[in-house]
Amino acid sequence: SFNSLNHDMTLAEFKFIWYMEYSHRMWGRVVGLAYILPAAYFWRRGWLSPPLKGCVLALCGLVCFQGLLGWYMVKSGLEEKPDSYDIPRVSQYRLAAHLGSALVLYSASLWTGLSLLLPRHKLPETQQLLRLRQYAHGTTALIFLTALSGAFVAGLDAGLVYNSFPKMGERWIPDDLLAFSPVLRNIFENPTTVQFDHRILGIASVTAVTALYLFSRKIPLPRRIRMAVTSLLAVACMQ
């Protein structure tokens, strides 16, 4: 990286990048210890039920897997590629996997914690409530996919290709959208296509969250659920 891209970097500039990377690694290790040590203590004291022990083991496994995946991702950016003149960067596939794993870990931890802290509402299983739950699950999957597409944007520096919105340059659909062959490769390796997909998915996510909010207004829901849906809409708009 130094020889091909940052040969004019000063020692102070290198230290800034080094300390950012070092802090990220240390913070990750602190998070891991903050989870694993109390979990081991609660387990030894017998405070965990059998189903909760399964959750704890799964989350501990995810914490370790996340660290391993981070090392595997960084390793891809340090590999020498003598035949390549591209800017040194980590693999966008490994970056997306690292981010996806982090989102799963965070969501599972939050879900487990809230399940213990807040009693579940016993609501009548009406057709409207069932549809709302299914739509919420679909919206969650769409948001997750949008976040993963953002990792591909970051990994390929695709955000630098076009900086106008809603059009990309002077066109709604750019000319080089399917420049790579085979066509499927464009989705993951063509910076133009990656940015285009991320825009479409982002707009779709905001639309889905808005529709979820509007649909929820037609159903009598407890205050806590209504607050959650309203907060989701506010965060989506802010994002």
In whole angstroms, give the CA distance from residue 118 to residue 225: 12
Give the pLDDT score at 10. Answer: 86
Residue 118 dihedral angles phi and psi, to the nearest 5°: -115, 125
Across the range 30-54, mean pLDDT stands at: 93
Amino acid 84 reads S
Cβ pair 81, 39 in contact under 8 A = no
Q: Which two tokens stand for residue 98?
A: 């690292």
Average pLDDT over the chain, rounded to an integer: 90
Least confident of 44-53, 68-77, 189-198, 206-215: 68-77
Q: Residue 120 carries which DSSP code?
A: P
Give pLDDT tens digits for 84-130: 556 667 889 999 999 999 999 999 999 999 998 988 878 788 889 99
Q: How far is CA 72 from CA 58, 76, 92, 116, 153, in A?
A: 21, 7, 12, 34, 19
Give the pLDDT score at 125. Answer: 81
Give the pLDDT score at 120. Answer: 80
In whole angstroms, give the CA distance from residue 77 to residue 99: 16
Give the pLDDT score at 86. Answer: 60
Locate all alpha helices (DSSP H) within the chain, ordered by sequence.
Answer: 11-45, 50-78, 92-117, 127-155, 185-189, 191-216, 223-238
Give the CA count within 13 Å in the CB-facing half-sphere of 211: 13
Give pLDDT tens digits for 139-183: 999 999 999 999 999 999 999 999 999 999 889 999 889 989 899
